[in-house]
Amino acid sequence: MDQVSNIDKQKLPKHIAIIMDGNGRWAKEHGKPRVFGHQNGVKSVREVTEASAELGIQYLTLYAFSTENWSRPAFEVNALMGLLVETIRKEIKTLNDNDIRLQAIGDIDQLPKKSRKALLEGIENTKENKRMTLVLALNYSSRWEIKEAIKKIISDHDTGKLGKADLSDEVIHSYLSTKDIPDPELLIRTSGEHRISNFLLWQIAYSELYFTDIYWPEFRKAHLYEAIINYQNRERRFGKISEQLPL
Ligand code: FPP
């Protein structure tokens, strides 16, 4: 029996988030420049997007560029931005053919003009698609997002739109860039690093974390299936005890 048939379609996570890591180390192991790793990482993006849509995952969020990534050498930053533009332009048709909607979270206004344009075109051209939402976290960091949310909350408080007593988890969620997206049930990080790196800190309060040693450019459908099966074998208690959970 292949792995995919071990997945319980009734217990799929609605939202999977992935910290794609290890492109540079993978390239180095192959005696190639770091950019070669990012180029091959795009193949994994394609595989995982396809596998997620086929399974019936509703949201897939990929951490593509963090606010901290600007401090990498200019050559690498430019290559990553170029790859982003190229990939979005190339893949719009496939996204539409597969009924996948593109969205982004992060400080998009600060992206280079060309990248922002390609991204906004991709979002506009796929906005009617319904099968799955692919969310790219670009120029994103969780602390940036939380800071922005606090600024808006203070401003709405000052104008009388929001009272202190109104502040619930749901209201805070509505001020985040993920306001229209459910929290991820499963967060995957590749490359053997066991860190969250400023990614979706509010949203992963109850997420199951899955770490794999596989470098991102080697991540294939089978690795995603493995992560989902692992997730499905865990008991999610949300602070309760086992006996209180529905059978
Ligand atoms: C982490 O590996 C990867 C990134 C910072 C960028 C991920 C980008 C891509 C896969 C390509 C473009 C993506 C899209 C969505 C078009 P690393 O460079 O930190 O690797 P290292 O930890 O081994 O140095």
The CATH number of residue 60's host domain is 3.40.1180.10
Confirm whether 156 is domain-assigned. Answer: no
- pLDDT-derived band at 247 (thresholds 50, 70, 90) equals confident
Task: Give the residue numbers spanning the domain of 64.
Answer: 11-141+183-234
Would the pLDDT of 2 be above 80? no
Of residues 31 and 240, which shows the higher confidence score? 31
Span 23-50, pLDDT tens digits: 999 999 999 999 999 999 999 999 999 9
Q: In this structure, what are the phi and psi dihedrals at residue 133, rounded to the nearest 5 degrees?
A: -110, 125
Lookup: tokens for 82: 């170029």
Which residue's CA is minimally distant from atom 16 of ligand 1?
A: 84
Would the pLDDT of 113 be above 90? yes
Q: What is the percent of the chain with per-residue pLDDT over 70, rounded to a whole number?
A: 99
The conformation of residue 136, written as its DSSP 8-state character, comes to: E
The span from the CA of 75 to the CA of 218, in Å, is: 23
- Asked if 105 and 74 count as a contact pair (C-beta separation under 8 A), the reply is no
Confirm whether 152 is domain-assigned. Answer: no
Number of domains in the chain: 1
Lookup: tokens for 79: 């290559």
Lookup: tokens for 52: 């997620």
Q: What is the percent of the chain with per-residue pLDDT over 90, rounded to a whole number?
A: 93
Which are the contacts of 91, defined by CB distance < 8 A and separation ≥ 6?
A: 46, 122
Pocket of ligand 1 (CB under 6 A): 20-25, 38, 41-42, 45, 62, 64, 69, 83-84, 87, 136, 191
Would the pLDDT of 1 be above 70? no
Span 87-107, pLDDT tens digits: 999 999 999 999 999 999 999
Span 49-92, pLDDT tens digits: 999 999 999 999 999 999 999 999 999 999 999 999 999 999 99
Span 186-203, pLDDT tens digits: 999 999 999 999 999 999
Q: Which amino acid is at 92?
A: I
Residue in 19, 26, 38 to alter for ligand 1 test, most ligand atoms within 8 A of Cβ? 38
- Per the annotation, the verdict on 69 as an active-site residue is yes
Confirm whether 5 is domain-assigned. Answer: no
Please choose, from the candidates 160, 159, 200, the residue with its C-alpha nearest in 3D space to the C-alpha of residue 63: 200
Would the pLDDT of 175 be above 60? yes
The closest-lying atom of ligand 1 relative to the alpha carbon of residue 215 is 23
pLDDT score at 3: 86
The average pLDDT across 153-170 equals 97
The average pLDDT across 214-236 equals 95
- Per the annotation, the verdict on 21 as an active-site residue is yes
- Asked if 112 and 81 count as a contact pair (C-beta separation under 8 A), the reply is yes
Lookup: tokens for 119: 């991204």
Confirm whether 150 is domain-assigned. Answer: no
Query: How does the average pLDDT of the chain come out, rounded?
Result: 96
Confirm whether 191 is domain-assigned. Answer: yes
Lookup: tokens for 105: 């979270």
Annotated catalytic residue, options 6, 8, 21, 125: 21
> Quick check: helix, strand or coil at residue 100?
strand
- Asked if 16 and 184 count as a contact pair (C-beta separation under 8 A), the reply is yes
pTM, to two decimals: 0.95
Confirm whether 201 is domain-assigned. Answer: yes
User: Cα 192 to chain center, whole Å?
Assistant: 18
Of residues 241 and 203, which shows the higher confidence score? 203
Would the pLDDT of 150 be above 80? yes
